[in-house]
């Protein structure tokens, strides 16, 4: 099974890269861009087939390594 982990800066943490993208979009003439947040996506191939076990395992991966929970939040999608 596959896990797709989305890591984003938490709400309230200023995202300098997202802000730079927002400015660049504005200078390209895209109007009405009120905010941009940049994050990352990590795709993981798992040998197991039990969704509950996978969720537990990937949550632990996020807490230990994939996200820095001081500044980042994460979301896990399994398929």
Does residue number 41 form part of the binding site for another protein (CB under 8 A)? no
Distance CA 52, CA 56 (A): 6
Q: Are strands 2-9 and 40-45 parallel, antiparallel or unpaired?
A: antiparallel
Among 33, 41, 53, 71, binds another protein (CB under 8 A): 71
Does residue number 11 form part of the binding site for another protein (CB under 8 A)? no
Distance CA 49, CA 38 (A): 31
CB of 57 to another protein, least distance (A): 16
Number of residues that bind another protein (CB under 8 A): 12
CB atoms within 10 A of CB 74: 20
Q: Which residues bind another protein (CB under 8 A)?
A: 9, 13-14, 16-17, 20, 64-66, 68, 70-71
């Amino acid at each position: 099974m596959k896990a797709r982990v989305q890591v984003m800066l938490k709400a309230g943490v200023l995202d300098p890269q997202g802000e730079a993208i927002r400015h660049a979009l504005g200078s390209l003439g895209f109007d009405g861009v009120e905010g941009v947040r940049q994050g990352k996506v990590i795709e993981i191939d798992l040998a197991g087939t039990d969704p509950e076990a996978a969720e537990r395992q990937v949550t632990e991966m996020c807490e230990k390594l994939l996200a820095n929970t001081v500044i980042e939040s994460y979301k896990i999608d399994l398929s």
